[in-house]
Amino acid sequence: MLLTLVTVTPAHADSPTSASDAVYQLDVNGQQTTLAEGESAVYPIVAVDSPAAEGLVPLSTSVPYPGDIGLLTVSAAKGVYHYDIAMSEPSTNFVGDFCITDLTSGFSNGCTHELIFSADIPTSKLRGHTYSGTLSGTAYFLGLPNGNTVPNNTIYTYNDY
């Protein structure tokens, strides 16, 4: 069983004066990095039977960390999450769910069933609300599973004015 702990806190005590000033400290299993508004968190895609699926997940905002068969990139801007899956081994389709939770209100924004390697998923676009976006799914080659997403959770605050 893989357990990933993600903690997001403001990197500075003062409130940002604009959306472009927003900076967040992201902690994944004790590994810390700083994200600015609109930056992406990058997660690997690992083979279905990979021992890497049991370990810690590398995280970066600027350098991709490929899994053993692919890479998941999640970003958010203007109230919309965007994900891209780049497979390094042949894959014919992807099946998964992108789920969004409004962390400010505690309400779910629901899950969108995804059947493609890249998509845009809107939040409810409530100004000042912080959202959590998570993609889980499996890549297939000719109907046989060949890759799973690793645990991921991308935090985004909607501050577009």
Region 26-50: what's the mean pLDDT?
A: 68
For the chain, give every domain's residue range: 6-11+21-157
DSSP 52: G
Which residue do the tokens 């992108």 mark? 98
DSSP 60: B
Task: Give the separation between CA 126 and CA 159, rounded to whole angstroms.
Answer: 8
**Among candidate residues 30, 27, 21, 138, the one with its CA nearest the CA of residue 91:** 138
pTM of the model: 0.65
User: Tell me: the pLDDT tens digits for 107-158?
Assistant: 999 999 999 999 999 999 999 999 989 899 999 999 999 999 887 888 888 9
Task: Give the separation between CA 111 and CA 100, rounded to whole angstroms.
Answer: 6
